[in-house]
Amino acid sequence: MKKMKRIGRFHVITDTLLQTCHSHAQLAALAIAGGADTIQLREKNGSTKEIIRAAEQMQALCRNAGVTFIVNDRVDVAIASGADGVHLGQDDFPIPLARKLLGEKAIIGGSAGTVEEARKCLMEGADYIGFGPVYPTSSKADAAPAGGLDLLREVMEMIPLPIVAIGGITEANAPLVMKAGAYGIAVISAVCCQMDPTEAARSLGCVLEPYGHG
């Protein structure tokens, strides 16, 4: 097993497209209050300056709370904000180059939807893999078909990295994902799009506790 870094089991990915009530920083604060141990900023729109400003606010919140802060895709924003690391998709910034720029201490996650993609993330030096979608999801417009729990188990058997499941995960099905052996979960709608994101996060955290969360 690759040496573990401070990789959380409960990732909340902030979103301001699916919901417009809260900013990225507000969502981060609400999710942290509910027990999230990793916050990921995912923002595809807006100017780089605006995204950096949001990232700086989120990094300050996360640092004060002892929570890991990850930036999706944008290595430049991660560097500018002092983030703990980045999460990169298959077609995003190359993992080896991100490692060269961010250094060995940075946490680098890679997205995968197949065993082959997961193996590629491993070979390129990812610290953890965000695997999915496990279940159908509407949070990502270009999401691949759901792979299900059997594929999740197969990946975990073959890839010696923490596997963080993502895609359509809710309070109802999270226990199934964890029982299947996932290291942790990553959610968007299950927290960000709820009336009370803090309570939604707290409820999910309670579900994860028997499996090593907290």
Active-site residue numbers?
A: 42, 111, 140
Q: Report d(CA 149, CA 86) in Å as an integer.
A: 26
3-class secondary-structure state, position 100: helix
- Bond preceding residue 162 cis, omega within 30 of 0: no
Give the tokens for residue 118.
């997961």
Q: Which of 30, 23, 12 is nearest to 72 (CA)?
A: 12
Burial tier of 99 (Cβ tally within 10 Å: 0-12, 13-18, 19+): middle
